[in-house]
Amino acid sequence: MKVLHSWLRDFAPIELDAVALGDVMSDLGMAVEEMDVLGEGLDGIVVARVLDLRPHPDADKIQLVDVDAGDGEALQICCGAFNMSVGDLVPLATLGTTMPNGMEIARRKLRGEWSNGMLCSPPEVNLPGDPSGILLLPEGLEPGVPLTEALGISADVLYDLEINPNRPDAMSVAGVARDVAARLGLPFQLPTPTIATTGPATADLVSVEILAPERCGRFTARVLQGVTVGPSDPLIANRLTLLGMRPINNVVDASNYLMLELGQPSHPYDLATLGGAGFRVRLANEGETITTLDDVERTVTTADLLICDATDVPVGIAGIMGGADSEISDATTDVVVEMAWFERMPLAKSSRRLGVRSEASARFERGVDPDGIDLAQDRFVELLGGVGGGSVGSVSQGLVDERGQLPDRTPIEVRPARVNAILGADLSPKEMKELLDPIGFTTELGAEGEPMRVALPSFRLDSEVEIDVVEEVGRMYGYARLGKTMPVSSLSGHLTRRQLERRRLRSLLTGLGLSEAAPMPFLAPGDLERAGLPGDGITITNPLVAEESVLRTSLLPGLLKAVRHNVGHRNEGIALFEIGHVFRRPMDPDAELPDERETVAVIVAGADATAAVEAWRTVCDGLSVPGADVANAEMPGLHATRSGVVRVEGEPVGAVGEVDPEVLAAYDIPGRVAWLEVDLDRFLAHPHGEPTYTPVSRFPSSDIDLAFEVAEGISATDVGSTIERAAGDLLGWVRLFDTYRGEGVRDGHRSLTYRVRLQARDRTLTDGEVGEVRQAIIDAVQAGFPAHLRG
C-alpha cells in the first residue's frame, strides 16, 4: 500500500519529517518497505513539448529531439529513448541542473550533435515507471513550468507500506492517517462531502436484487446523470500516478481514488448499457462464462458470486473484476455507482481459484467497511467535482440499499486484567480506553474489576474477540514501551539422547574424513529407477518443475547426483555423508502420514566396499552398539557380489557395499563407489550406548595364529565369533589378518588366518593353558563349520 505524506495530511495535521513519520508507521505495524522523497533535487527540471524527432546522422541508439522548453524556441536534445511522439509533454532537465542522483547536466556534443539538456525517465525524477522510456506527462501542462509545480509533487514523500492481512483499515490512506493521528495525539477528520440530490429517486432508475444474501451483505447503487466524461482534476491524476495507477477518465479515476483514499471499492456502470437497468447478485451457474475488463473469458463455478444485470446477464465477478461490456466510455452520460460488501472468505477462494487478484479483491478479502459506503457514495460525487459546477449534472435521491447477512458486531467484553496479563503491562482501564477510542473502538469502562464493554469499529472486521483488542492496546501503546522481562523457567535445558547421538554420529563420520552433504530431498521421475531402486516414491501433486516432484525413498539418488556433480568438476576426494529423512508408503493402509525415517548414508567415490564396511564398524563402535554385523546379500542398487546387509542382533537396519556398476554408468560416474545407508530409527532402537567396563590386565599376553581352510560362502565374521566364544574368559581380541585363495587351498575354499590374543586378568598364562585354549578354538571352528586347520 502506497501513501503520500501530503495525502495523509488531508486527514490529520501531521508535522513529522519523512523519516520520523516512517518510524511511527513501522512501529504501528505498517512497515515502510520503501520511502521516496519527491520534489527534492528536481529544481531545473521543466515541462517541455516535443516539436520534432529526427534520426541522429551518426548513431542509431540515440535520436535528436527538438523541444519547446517554454520560450517557443526549438531546443535540440540527444535522447536514447524512442517512446515519445511529436506533441508529447516530457520532463526536461535544463542546463546546469543537478539531478537527484548527483549528475550535472551540461551542454555537450554526442557524436557531433549538440545536446542542450536531458529528457528524463520516471526513475530519473523519482517517480515510479519504466526506466527505459521517457516520462510522458499528462496533457494540459504548460511548457516551461517546473515539473514539481506541474505535478504537484513539491516536497512530498511517497511511502510503500507492508500491510498485514489483519489490517483492512490500513488498505486506505485515511486508515493509515487514523493510526498515525492516534499515536501522535492529533485530531483525525474524514472527508465531509455534502451532496445535493436533485435527480429522480434512485429506486425509479435502478433496481437491486440480492439472491445470495449469505455472500453479499450490502449492495448499494446511485445514479449520476448528465455526467461529462473527461480528464480528471490534475491533483487526482497526479496522486493516482504517484501511487502507481494510470489515470483513465474522471469517472474511473474517481473510483480508483476513492478506493485508495477510503478503502471502499466501487464500480461505475454506464446506465445505458446496463440491461434492465438493474442488478441481480447471485451465485454463478456451473460452467457459466464471463469476459472480464481485461478481455479474458473466464469460466466460473457455483462457488463464485456474479453481479448480473436485471436481465441476468453477468456484468462482473463480485468484488474481483468487472465485465467488459458496461465500461464507462466517452459517450457515457448516466453512471450507476455500485458499492457493496461481500463475504470475505468465499471471495478469497474465488479470487484464488480464478487466479485474479485485483486492488478491489485484496480489500474485499480483508473486509471493507460495510458502514462506510454511505460516506463513500457521497465522496465519489465530490471527487467528480460535485453537482453543477463539476462534471455531474444531477444525483439521484437516496441509495438503493439492499442488505444480506453482515458480520455480527455486538460489543464484546474485555477484561483489563487479561489485557495486562498478556501484554505484561500495568495499564488502567482508562488508559486502555484512551488507546482504543482514537482508532475507532468505543470503550465503556466497567465497575472496578469488571470487564470493559468495547464496541468494534465496522472498518476493523478482523477484530472480533478479546485477544484482538488486547493486540490493539499493545500496538497503540507501543511494543517497545512495554519493556523486556525474562520468564522464570522451572525446567533445565538439554538435548535428548537421540540428538546427542546424532551429534556423536556426525563427529564419527567427519572423523573418517567424510564431509556432510545436503541434497534436495526432491527427485525427478526416474531418478529412483536409475539408482536401481523401486520407483514407488510419493509424489508432489503441485511441483513447480517435474525435476522436483518425487520424494526420496533413499538417500542414494541425491548423493549419486552430488558425486556426479563433483566428478564433473574433477574434484578429488569425494567422500560424503548425509543425515536426512526418507519417505515411503507405509505398510499400514490407514496410516495418516507416510513412513518417514531418519537415515544416514555414506558415499565414497573411488573406494571399494571396504570403506563402507569400515564406516559401519566405526559407527557401531563409536555409538557402542553391540550385536552389529554384516552379512553378504544382494541389495537393490548395489553391486551383486560386493554388497551386504548391515544388522543389529540379526535385524537388518541398512545396506552396505558398492554401488551397482550399471547404476554408476546411468549416473555417469567412473570407478568404484562405496555405499552405506542405515535406517537410524531401526538402528538406534536396539539397546546401545552402555559400554560395560572390563578391567585392563597387567599381565603379559600370548598370541596364537590359526589358519583355517573354509568353504566360500561361510561368513568370516561368524568364524571369528566362534573363535571368540571358544577363547572364553582368556580372550583379549581376535583379528582376521590374512585371507588367501590359490595354490595349496582347495577350489571353492579360502584360507582365513586369525590372530588371537590371550590374556588373563590375574596371572601370566602358562604354555599349557595357551595350548588348551588353542585346541578348544580349533575344535569349535571345525565342529561349527565345514573348515579345517591348515598344517
Q: Which residue has the cell 537410524?
A: 680
Cβ closer to another protein: 108 or 349?
A: 349
CB-count burial class (<10 Å; 0-12, 13-18, 19+) for 396: buried
Q: Of 206-214, 217-225, 345-353, 450-458, which segment contacts another protein by CB under 8 A?
A: 345-353
Q: Of 27-35, 109-117, 293-301, 313-321, which segment contacts another protein by CB under 8 A?
A: 27-35
Closest CA to 595 of 585, 603, 580: 585
Q: Which of 121, 266, 566, 702 binds another protein (CB under 8 A)?
A: 566
Q: Enter the C-alpha cell of residue 505.
A: 554420529
| Nearest approach, Cβ of residue 568 and another protein (Å) | 10
CA 527 to CA 523: how far, in whole Å?
6
The reply to whether 534 sits near another protein by the rule CB under 8 A is no
CA distances to 406, 562, 606, 616 from 664, rounded to whole Å, are 66, 12, 12, 22
The reply to whether 345 sits near another protein by the rule CB under 8 A is yes
Question: Residue count at the site for another protein (CB under 8 A)?
Answer: 89
| Nearest approach, Cβ of residue 314 and another protein (Å) | 23
650-689 positions binding another protein, by CB under 8 A: none
| Nearest approach, Cβ of residue 653 and another protein (Å) | 20
Closest CA to 497 of 692, 694, 693, 687: 687
CA 522 to CA 551: how far, in whole Å?
5
Q: Residues 294-320, buried b or exposed e (16+ Cβ, 10 A)?
A: eeeebebeeebbbbbbbeebbbbbbbb
Cβ closer to another protein: 82 or 583?
A: 583
| Nearest approach, Cβ of residue 119 and another protein (Å) | 35
Cβ closer to another protein: 248 or 512?
A: 512
x-marked contacts with another protein along 535-554 as a string, rule CB under 8 A: ---xxxxxxxx--x--x---
Residue type, 230: G
The reply to whether 583 sits near another protein by the rule CB under 8 A is yes
703-762 positions binding another protein, by CB under 8 A: none
Q: Which of 398, 511, 525, 786 binds another protein (CB under 8 A)?
A: 511
Q: Enter the C-alpha cell of residue 704.
A: 596364537
Q: Which of 573, 670, 700, 771 binds another protein (CB under 8 A)?
A: 573
The reply to whether 9 sits near another protein by the rule CB under 8 A is no
Q: Which of 60, 194, 297, 569 binds another protein (CB under 8 A)?
A: 569
| Nearest approach, Cβ of residue 424 and another protein (Å) | 3
x-marked contacts with another protein along 151-190 as a string, rule CB under 8 A: -------------xxxx-----------------------
Cβ closer to another protein: 421 or 665?
A: 421
CB 770 within 8 A of CB 702: yes
The reply to whether 194 sits near another protein by the rule CB under 8 A is no
The reply to whether 374 sits near another protein by the rule CB under 8 A is no
The reply to whether 416 sits near another protein by the rule CB under 8 A is no
Q: Which of 144, 226, 275, 594 binds another protein (CB under 8 A)?
A: 594
Q: Of 235-243, 420-428, 663-671, 706-714, which segment contacts another protein by CB under 8 A?
A: 420-428
Q: Which of 75, 470, 612, 664 binds another protein (CB under 8 A)?
A: 470
The reply to whether 496 sits near another protein by the rule CB under 8 A is yes
Q: Enter the C-alpha cell of residue 358.
A: 485485483
Q: Which of 421, 665, 685, 711 binds another protein (CB under 8 A)?
A: 421
CB 349 within 8 A of CB 319: no
The reply to whether 587 sits near another protein by the rule CB under 8 A is no
198-217 positions binding another protein, by CB under 8 A: none
Closest CA to 42 of 160, 151, 158: 151
Closest CA to 480 of 182, 187, 183: 183
Cβ closer to another protein: 376 or 602?
A: 602
| Nearest approach, Cβ of residue 282 and another protein (Å) | 21
CB 781 within 8 A of CB 723: yes
The reply to whether 348 sits near another protein by the rule CB under 8 A is yes
Cβ closer to another protein: 321 or 575?
A: 575
CA 75 to CA 143: how far, in whole Å?
12
CB 356 within 8 A of CB 327: no
What are the two backbone dihedrals, phi and then psi, of residue 429, each rounded to the nearest 5 degrees? -55, -35
Q: Residues 669-693, buried b or exposed e (16+ Cβ, 10 A)?
A: beebbbbbbbbbeebbebebeeeee
CA 240 to CA 247: how far, in whole Å?
6
Please state the three-class secondary structure of 335-382 as a single string: EEEEEEEECHHHHHHHHHHHCCCCHHHHHHHHCCCHHHHHHHHHHHHH
Q: Which of 131, 483, 691, 713 binds another protein (CB under 8 A)?
A: 483
CA 521 to CA 599: how far, in whole Å?
12
**Helices 429-436 and 466-477: crossing angle, nearest 10°?**
80
Cβ closer to another protein: 29 or 100?
A: 29
